[in-house]
Chains A and B, each alone.
Chain A
Amino acid sequence: MISFIAKLIVALNSNSRPSELASGIAFGLLLALIPGENLLWIAIFVIAFFLKHNIAAMLLSLGFFRLFISFFDPFLDHIGGFILSIHQLYNFFTVLNNIPLIPYSNFNNSIVMGGFVLGIILWLPVFFLFVFVIKIYRKKISPKITESRFIKAIKRIPVISRLTSSVHKLSVLAS
Chain B
Amino acid sequence: MKKYKFPGIFRKKYTPKAFNKKIIKRIHIPKDREMIKNLFKENIDGEMEIIREIPKDVLVRLKPLAKSIRKNKGMVSRWKAFIVLFIVATILIFNLFFKDKLLTRAVETGLESVFQAKAEVKGLHLSLINGNFSYQSLSIADADHTKRNLLETGSSEFRVNIAELLSKRVRVEEMSLTDFRWDTPREVDGAMEASARDNRDGKDEKTDLTPDFLAVNKDDIDLKVLLEKQKNNLVSLNLINQGNEEIDTLTAKWKETYAEKDKKIELLLNDIKSLKSISVKDTGSIAEGQAALRQITDLYSRVTETKTELVALQNDFMADRKHLLEMNKRLETAVDDDVNRLGSMINFSSGSGRSLVSAAAEKYIRNRWNNYYEYGLKALNVYNRIQDRKKGESEERKGFDRDSGRVFVFPDQDNPHFLIEHILVSGGDDSTGTLSAEIESVSIEPEKLSKPLTFTADWKSSLSGISLNGFIDMRAEAERQFEMEISSPSNFISLEEGIPSLKIKKLSSMTDVSGVSVVSDKQDGVITTIDISMKDIEIEQSDKDDFVSNVIKETLNDIDQVDFKADIFADKKGIKDIKVSSNIDNILSKRMGEYINEIAAAKKEELKAELQNYIAPSLKENESLQSSMEKLRIESLDQIDSLNSMQNTLDAKQYEIQSDIKSGIKDEASKLIDQIPKLKLSGF
**Residues of chain A having any CB pair with chain B under 8 Å:** 13-18, 35, 49-52, 69-70, 73-74, 76-77, 80-81, 84-85, 90, 93-94, 96-98, 100-101, 103-104, 108-112, 114, 138-139, 143, 172, 174-175
Given A90-B410, A98-B413, also A77-B403 (CB < 8 A):
yes
List of A residues within 8 angstroms of B27 by Cβ: 15
Q: Which residue of A lies closest to B162 (CB)?
A: A100
Q: What is the total number of residues of chain B having a CB less than 8 Å from a CB of chain A?
A: 38
A151 to B407, CA, bound (A): 54
Let me know if B8 is at the binding interface, CB within 8 A. Answer: no
Q: Give me 16 other A-B pairs in contact (C-beta within 8 A), A15-B29, A100-B166 excluded.
A: A14-B68, A15-B72, A18-B28, A49-B80, A49-B84, A69-B402, A70-B402, A76-B405, A94-B410, A97-B410, A97-B412, A98-B412, A100-B163, A110-B405, A110-B407, A139-B30
Is there an interface contact between B68 and A175, defined as CB atoms closer than 8 Å? yes
Is there an interface contact between B28 and A50, defined as CB atoms closer than 8 Å? no
29 A-B pairs in the complex with CB atoms less than 8 angstroms apart: A15-B28, A15-B69, A16-B72, A17-B72, A49-B84, A52-B74, A52-B77, A69-B402, A70-B401, A73-B405, A74-B403, A85-B408, A94-B411, A97-B412, A98-B412, A98-B413, A100-B166, A100-B167, A101-B167, A103-B167, A109-B406, A110-B405, A111-B402, A111-B403, A111-B405, A114-B405, A138-B29, A143-B31, A175-B71
Let me know if B105 is at the binding interface, CB within 8 A. Answer: no
Question: Which residues of chain B from 15 to 63 have a CB within 8 Å of any chain A CB?
Answer: 27-32
Is there an interface contact between A51 and B410, defined as CB atoms closer than 8 Å? no
A35 to B405, CA, bound (A): 10
List of A residues within 8 angstroms of B72 by Cβ: 15-17
Does more than half of chain B's interface fall in helix, strand or loop, or is it mixed? loop
List of B residues within 8 angstroms of A93 by Cβ: 408, 410
CB distance from A121 to the nearest CB of B (A): 18
Is there an interface contact between B412 and A35, defined as CB atoms closer than 8 Å? no
Does more than half of chain A's interface fall in helix, strand or loop, or is it mixed? helix
List of B residues within 8 angstroms of A14 by Cβ: 29, 68
Is there an interface contact between B28 and A108, defined as CB atoms closer than 8 Å? no
Let me know if B463 is at the binding interface, CB within 8 A. Answer: no
**Residues of chain B having any CB pair with chain A under 8 Å:** 27-32, 64-65, 67-69, 71-72, 74-77, 80-81, 83-84, 163, 166-168, 401-413
CB distance from A9 to the nearest CB of B (A): 14
Is there an interface contact between A80 and B28, defined as CB atoms closer than 8 Å? no
Is there an interface contact between A108 and B409, defined as CB atoms closer than 8 Å? yes
List of A residues within 8 angstroms of B74 by Cβ: 52
A70 to B403, CA, bound (A): 7
Given A15-B65, A17-B28, A143-B31, also A80-B75 (CB < 8 A):
no
Q: Which residue of A lies closest to B69 (CB)?
A: A15
List of A residues within 8 angstroms of B75 by Cβ: 51-52
Is there an interface contact between A84 and B68, defined as CB atoms closer than 8 Å? no
A93 to B408, CA, bound (A): 10
Q: Which residue of B lies closest to A81 (CB)?
A: B406
Is there an interface contact between A35 and B408, defined as CB atoms closer than 8 Å? no
> Which of B29, B67, B76, B402 has the largest number of chain A CB atoms within 10 A?
B402
Given A70-B402, A73-B402, also A108-B408 (CB < 8 A):
yes
Is there an interface contact between B406 and A98, defined as CB atoms closer than 8 Å? no
